[in-house]
Every structure is written in structure tokens, then in C-alpha cells.
Chain A
């Protein structure tokens, strides 16, 4: 199988990830539940992973890194934990349902929601974001990169707008963490939500968030904390405040190994390889008659994603043909990005999404180009 669905999850992980998970499964206890070597082993690997993530994202302290199961959980905690009835929040049509659905729920609770549209190429204008800020605007919530087109939002510029107007800035880095540099302090990000299983190359069930010092987030969950047991309330100190219950120590051990790999190989090298493969694929298919590619390929900064359709063919049919005939794994359909598809006019047809990893090869990309060419000729 040629796996080109890395925006959904990266299938090929560094080998040390599985090794670390197995080692953890066979050795660690429950973090923060006692001072045995088993429990401390879990606490140590979890703390070390907090430090690595803090370094990766330029946070001020490992205490501000919270572990969750994935981006969806992080975004739910962030969105539901900072908005109150009467507040106004701004987002964009580029968003995944993990942003949109919590925001729709907030709207049902009396929170005013502005969803900014995009241009024909799927880009968001920062001027439109600033114009949408009102007196009661509490937050701007946006993705760093569209999971459908691969287009990116200039989060440094949006961060500057958020800071200027004293509104919170929440970023969904699901598609970019591990490939594109994110510096929460320089970019004025108040809450960064990320997942471990995509471009960080860790296991599923790992993810997290960075929460800036001073930002109060109402927890979604309360429960076991390992500290302050006789307090009827869940502790307010970070990161415990947002981490009720046993953490996924085994998964986090795997994520730790993935982060070590990333530090070793270097994010710049990973990004250069992935963008080169993406560009090769794009250039190979964009001239094929009947192929329509979505998104902006004139910008250098974009996620390694190419989404397209062939004529009027159902994207599911094309994706199925790619897999059953050529062994190429892609993702058809709506990609949990309903507003982006509506904006592109692809609500019914969906789109076929190719998304690349640095583990892909030029030979695989060439095979994929030829497969698309043959399908388009049929």
C-alpha cells in the first residue's frame, strides 16, 4: 500500500515510537499515584514529554502543557472553557468540525458567532478578521492550516490582531504541529490545540494544548488528580486543572519518542521533504485534462496536502479506485470540513485528498501521478 492519507493520521511512525509504547506497557504505573518506581516512571516520561512540547511550541513553562486525547478534546476544552453567554467569537470557513461543532453548541447557549468566508482560492483575509472584532469579542478561533486545501492562515498576523484588541487567540494546529514552526509567545497564541497522531508521528489517543499563563479555562472534567484528595473541588493549578483522571502514559511515552525523533531529524528537513513531494504531485496532476485542484498553490507556505476532483466523478469512487486498483490510500468525501467544501462548491462531490509524509518517496508520488492520469483518461 502507498499511504497518502497523512492528514488523517500518519501511518508510518518512527520505529522508536512502537518500542517506547511497548516498553511503557511493560514497565510504568499510574503517573502521580504514589512514589513507587512504577508510578514515578510514568510521571517522569510524562514530565519529559511536557518539556519537549514546551520547547517545540516555545511555551513559558511545562506546567502550561496539558495532555488530552486529541485535538478535538483540546478544542472542546478551550472553546467551552473560555466562552460565556453574551460573548462574541470569530472563526473561519476553513475550520474542521472539531472547531465548528463546539462553537455551534456555544451559539445555542447565547454566544454570538461570526464565521468568516474565504476567497476563491480558499484564503482568509486578516483584514476581515480585524473588521469582525467587536466590543464583546472574547476570542478568535482558527486553524493554522486547512485539512482540505492545505492553505494556511498567517497566525502571526492574526495573533497581532488578537493582542491589539485584547481578545483570546485559540489556534488549531492539527495539520501543522511537527511540520511548521509554532512559537506561542512570538505568535501571541493564548491556547494552542494539537494532536499527537498526525505530523508529530505519535500514537492515536495522544494530544494536548498549551494554555498561556493567566488564561483561565473552565475544565470540562473533574475527578482524580493524585493530589488534594479531600478538596471537594478539582485542583485549580495547571496542568492538573485540565487533566482529570489517569493520563495515557503509554501513549505519551510513544509521543515522547516521536518528539525525540523530530528533534533529531529536524522539522525543517521534514517540511522540506513533504513540501517537495506535495509540489511534485501537484505539478504532475494539475495539467491533466479533467482534474480540478483546490486551494492556493502560489504560496510557498502550505500544508503538504493536494485535494482535487476528476470531472464529475464522485470523490469516493475515485478514492476507491485508487486503492483497489493502485493500492494508494487517500481520503475522499467531506473531511469533516463542511464549510470549506460549501465554499469550494464541492458539497456533493466531495474531493480526493492526498496528504504526504516525509516517509513517502518520489517513486510513490510518480506512481500516484500516473494513477490519476489513467483514471482521468478513462
Chain B
């Protein structure tokens, strides 16, 4: 397994919200990708957006602007 790094993880209530996030980030040139929700955050399946923690502020701002609802934004080792 590769070495873990600290990442910003955004979780969502639905797959639809996760897909809206991926599309918005692509349009806004925000790097990151969808990954399965890490066990450290939730054991309940689903998709999460994994990004550099330095992008936390821009991600929060753009999500608010686009009306995308997150379940949570948190940092964890992924």
C-alpha cells in the first residue's frame, strides 16, 4: 500500500451531490478526485472528494456558490 498523506475529504449525502462536486471542480479547475469514503470518516460506503488540504477555502467557497451540499469537510490521512 502506498504511503498515506493528509488530505481534505468532502463527504456527501447522495451520489448526485458527489457528481455535482466533480463536475463543478472540473469546471473551476480545482484539482482532486472522487474516492470511496475512507473508513476513518464513515463505514457507510459512498463517494467523497479528495483534495489537497490547502484548497479547503476555495473548495468551501465554490461549493457555496454552486449550491452543493456537503455532509462534512474534514482532513484525514488517506
A interface residues, Cβ below 8 angstroms from B: 31-35, 40, 43-44, 46-47, 50, 61-63, 226-231, 235, 237-240
Contact = CB atoms under 8 A, between A and B. Distances in A.
Contacts of B17: 63
A342 B38 CA distance: 60
A211 to B, nearest CB: 13
Contacts of B14: 63, 227, 235, 237-240
Size class of the B contact interface (CB-based, 8 Å): 20 to 34
B36 A47 contact: no
A35 B45 contact: no
A235 B15 CA distance: 12
Interface in B4-56: 12-20, 22-23, 33-36, 43-47
Nearest to A240: B14
Contacts of A47: 16, 19-20, 23
Nearest to B13: A237
B53 to A, nearest CB: 19
Given A47-B19, A50-B16, A63-B14, A228 B45 contact: yes
A44 B14 CA distance: 13
Contact of B13 (A33, A50, A235): A235
Contacts, number: 64
Given A40-B34, A47-B16, A235-B14, A230 B67 contact: no
Given A47-B16, A62-B16, A240-B15, A226 B45 contact: yes
A228 B46 contact: yes
B15 A35 contact: no
Nearest to A44: B19
Contacts of A61: 67
A229 B45 contact: yes
Nearest to A60: B67
A32 B35 contact: no
Contacts of B18: 32, 43
Contacts of B13: 227-228, 235, 237, 240
Given A34-B36, A62-B20, A231 B67 contact: no
A35 B47 contact: yes
9 contacts: A31-B15, A34-B36, A61-B67, A62-B20, A227-B15, A228-B45, A230-B43, A230-B44, A231-B44
